[in-house]
Structure 1
Amino acid sequence: MSSKVTRRQFLNYSLMGVGSFMAAGMILPMGRFALDPLFKDAAAGSDIQTSIKVSEITEEPTKVDFTYNQKDAWYESEVTEFAWVYKDGDKLIALSPVCKHLGCTVTWAGDDGNPDKFFCPCHNGLYTKDGNNVPGTPPRGPLDQYEVGDKDGFVTIGKRFENELVK
């Protein structure tokens, strides 16, 4: 038996090898993308503690700032946002300041004619204290809510979710 490799066999081996590398180059990134959530660490305690004490919160909505780290690809930055927090009896309520119409920032008592409502200056949109949009004004839906809590006497802000106060 001869151990020589013919030209046809050599070409076949070469094409199979190159094809295998090309297939692996396409399949491995897709596999990594599909399995990436398994490799990430679970966020330990996603609630962000603020510098505002729960005892300072009243029935009047208060602006509460919170800061967190955001990672965009290789760039990591510190982001500061805020929520409108108030007490409803013994319960803490936190509302998003982002208008559902165009994403503008709403203010509490920002309109002299409506001192007990959230006001969006973009198109004169109004929201009630519980975040519900006032009929006849531009907003399409209620303000979102944040998970809110109490840790060591300070307000904590969690994930944002759809408003459950007005449903």
Structure 2
Amino acid sequence: MSNKKNNQVSRRQFLNYTLTGVGGFMGAALIAPMVGFAVDPLLKGEKSGDFVYVLDVDEITETPQKVSFQVDQTDGWYESKVEKNAFVFYDSNGDILALSPVCTHLGCTVDWATEKEDEFFCPCHDGRYNAEGENIAGTPPTEPLHEYTFKVEEGKLYLSPETHARGGA
């Protein structure tokens, strides 16, 4: 007589296959959203730094003036408007300079000509910068104030939302 048990699945095997399949499906269901959350921002197109209108060129003076502007910011899926500030003025060469008011020492906000005349001053740790935004030796900041990239079109000044470091002492 031939034995037909070779083609049959035992109860133990059936339960093993079923639980493995269900466990794999549940594991995939748990991991898929996490992978999607981690990968989705990478797949979205990166916005290039759009320039933002700040003021007219004829309003710029040789004395730094603090201007505020808003930029769109995206953190994952959260989109918001963020207010940024810049000191805009003509430097000693007559070129436009747009400096970030964030101290390069610890990130406090600097002011123009508060303690000393013709200097940027950081009240947190007595950080000082000269009229060009370069750090003064012997004070806490180790590099000049960062600057904004800008462009001028039709008499209007536009700033990039991001700053970059400058060379200097």
TMscore range, shorter length: 0.7 to 0.9
Structure 1 unmatched runs, 5+: none
- Structure 2 counterpart of 1:10, from 14, 17, 37: 14
- Structure 1 counterpart of 2:38, from 16, 30, 33: 33
8 A Cα contact 1:131 1:163, kept in partner: no
Residues 76/163 of structure 1: CA separation in 2 closer, same or farther (3 Å cut) = same
For 2:26 and 2:134, the matched residues in 1 are separated by 55
Q: RMSD value over aligned CA atoms?
A: 2.6
SS state at 1:15 partner: helix
Structure 1 position 72, deviation (Å): 4.5
- Structure 2 counterpart of 1:60, from 56, 60, 63: 63
8 A Cα contact 2:41 2:76, kept in partner: no
Aligned partner of 1:84 in structure 2 is: 87
Aligned partner of 2:147 in structure 1 is: 145
TM-score (norm 2): 0.79
Structure 1 position 97, deviation (Å): 0.3
For 2:79 and 2:37, the matched residues in 1 are separated by 22
Q: Which amino acid aligns with 1:100?
A: T
Aligned partner of 2:104 in structure 1 is: 100
For 2:68 and 2:96, the matched residues in 1 are separated by 15
TM-score (norm 1): 0.79
Q: Deviations over 1:105-163 (max 9, x none)?
A: 1111112xx31111112222101223221111122322111111213322111121112
Structure 1 position 64, deviation (Å): 1.6
For 1:45 and 1:99, the matched residues in 2 are separated by 22
Structure 1 position 75, deviation (Å): 5.0
Q: Which amino acid aligns with 1:55?
A: D
Aligned residues: 162
Aligned partner of 1:135 in structure 2 is: 137
8 A Cα contact 1:109 1:117, kept in partner: yes
Percent identity for Structure 1 against Structure 2: 44
For 1:81 and 1:32, the matched residues in 2 are separated by 29
For 1:151 and 1:4, the matched residues in 2 are separated by 80
8 A Cα contact 1:125 1:139, kept in partner: yes
SS state at 1:147 partner: strand
Structure 2 unmatched runs, 5+: none
SS state at 1:137 partner: coil
Aligned partner of 2:166 in structure 1 is: 163
